[in-house]
Structure 1
Amino acid sequence: MRNMVLGALALAALAGCAGSKMNEARAGSPYKTLASDKATLVVAECIQFGWQDESVFGVDAGGFKEPNGAGGFTVYTTGGDYFVDVKSAGAGTTVNYYATEDSMPAKRRLAALATCL
């Protein structure tokens, strides 16, 4: 029981740090903006699933999904270095992808999310 509580507290602390990093990134421009004809939830769940693929991302595999208001979702990695804001746009979906730097891991995350559009 004690280990579960400590694990939950550690996850909450990481989410707080990731949230600050994500808010800073949103103040600037996204790394890439993409569009889809699919429903917002379908796109968000697909991205989350793709980012959890250990065969592609190894130990960095991680994808977490949370509602971000107005029917949208944020899908993010541990630490918030890579994340997407998925929101409804007319009959489709807009995806704003944020990455801390232009690197191969950022490009791999982008390629994985592009398969969901």
Structure 2
Amino acid sequence: MRILMVALAATLLAGCAGSVMDDARTKAPYKVLTSDKAEKVVAQCVQFGWQDEAVFGVDAAAYLEPRKSGGTTVYTRSAESFVDVITEASGTTLNYYAQKDDFVAKRRLAALATCL
């Protein structure tokens, strides 16, 4: 029963985050970065960095999700911050989105930049 409740909560969270992310993608990203590393390596590194409780406190959750149009999305609860990691001919492109331009968004960007 407990596993069922966790799965249901994760599904609801993904659904809410999905609409927030779709809306954000209609605007320009907060920052666009590139990397020579493989998409999966970068995405997993970002997820790991965003889960650092010493940096982000108790809200250090980060999730991986495949994108419908290819690539991977790493996102936080309620999609306050997320990054689309996309493989392109020139390398890996990272489109970083943040709901607010605040200290936390800049800190997540700095953590993301260590994965390039």
Give TM-score, length-normalised by structure 1.
0.94
Deviations 1:79-107 (A, max 9, x none): 11100000012141000000001000000
> What is the CA-CA distance between 1:62 and the residue it aligns to?
1.2
Letter aligned with residue 83 of structure 2 = V
Map 1:1-117 to 2 at 5 A: 2-69=1-68, 71-117=70-116
Residue segments in structure 1 that go unaligned for 5+ positions in a row: none
Q: Secondary structure at the residue paired with 1:74?
A: strand
- In 2, the alpha carbon distance for the partners of 1:10 and 1:92 equals 35
What is the aligned-residue identity percentage?
Answer: 60
Aligned residues: 116
> What is the CA-CA distance between 1:70 and the residue it aligns to?
5.2
- In 1, the alpha carbon distance for the partners of 2:24 and 2:94 equals 15
Residue segments in structure 2 that go unaligned for 5+ positions in a row: none
Q: Secondary structure at the residue paired with 2:28?
A: coil
Deviations 1:11-70 (A, max 9, x none): 211111011100000011100000111111111111011001111101110111111145
> What is the CA-CA distance between 1:3 and the residue it aligns to?
2.0
Q: Secondary structure at the residue paired with 1:59?
A: coil
- In 2, the alpha carbon distance for the partners of 1:113 and 1:21 equals 20
- In 1, the alpha carbon distance for the partners of 2:21 and 2:93 equals 17
- In 1, the alpha carbon distance for the partners of 2:46 and 2:103 equals 18
Letter aligned with residue 97 of structure 2 = Y
Name the stretch that deviates more: 64-73 or 42-51: 64-73
Q: Secondary structure at the residue paired with 1:4?
A: helix
